[in-house]
Amino acid sequence: MVKGNLLLDAQKVFFNKARLKKGGENFEIVIEVEPAIRYKEGEDVEISEILRDEHIFADANKGERASENHMKTVFGTTDPLKIAKVILDEGEIQITSEIREKEREKKRNKIISMIASEAIDPGTKLPHPPERIKLAIAEAKIGIDMFKTAEQQFDHVVNRLRPILPLSFQKKILSFRIPAEYAGKAQSLVRRSGVIEAENWAGDGSWEVTIKLSPGQVDDLTSQLNSLTHGAVKIEEK
């Protein structure tokens, strides 16, 4: 599948690509950045979805294709999808610095959001403001890997932050009694906010539920439930 005439345009632009030097030869593929990143993060992505062009190049920016003899010798095949997989697995992704920093910033922001939501300052018992977390990450000079998910980097970032920023990950336990007419809509909201500890359907159809969740999520969940039920939800903190 060809997504544009790369060979005609090769002299004009820099291509985002994956590159592997193997067997003394250079092999490159031209990639779509977003699916390539998802693939490197471990997501199940079709190789054909990643490729902008199903050719293997010796130099993609010059439009020089790799020799079929070299591909056969090094990879045992000339199938571009099979070779592309090896290049993605063993090689390096080369993308513009602008895209690289944009991806890092996106993951940095997600990690900050996760910490603000899940952790509190053990001294004040309050969540840390996102800006404080961002400044602490900068102070600790914590690098963000664009090819790992925020979840995969979370523990590493937290461990590096602890000498600078006091963090406690104690969970909160809340119980809700939600009137029958709002229970259906409330269920998906509550279930995705934390871990259900217990639940029961009362005789009047009300949903009684106890949930364990991160401290930073408490205000958001209670606010949303109050809005959904027009203040009719009953809330108790354990």
The pLDDT, as a whole number, for residue 13 is 55
Residue 120 CB neighbours (<10 A): 20
The domain 97-161 belongs to what CATH superfamily?
SBDS protein C-terminal domain, subdomain 1 (1.10.10.900)
Beta bridge partners of 51: 31
The pLDDT, as a whole number, for residue 4 is 45
CATH class of residue range 6-94: alpha beta
Q: Tell the CATH topology of 172-237.
A: Alpha-Beta Plaits (3.30.70)
Q: Dump pLDDT digits (tens) for 143-198.
A: 999 999 888 999 899 999 999 999 988 788 999 999 999 999 999 899 988 899 99
Mean of all residue pLDDT scores within the chain = 90
Sequence spans of domains, the chain? 6-94, 97-161, 172-237
Q: Are 61 and 95 in contact (CB under 8 A)?
A: no
Query: Using CA atoms, how far apart are residues 92 and 152, in angstroms rounded to an integer?
Result: 19
Q: What mean pLDDT do residues 100-119 have?
A: 93
Q: Is the pLDDT of residue 79 over 70?
A: yes
Would you place residue 15 in the very low, low, confident or very high pLDDT band (cuts 50, 70, 90)? confident
Weakest mean pLDDT among 2-11, 98-107, 152-161: 2-11
- What are the C-alpha distances in Å from 68 to residues 3, 32, 62, 73, 74? 22, 24, 17, 9, 10
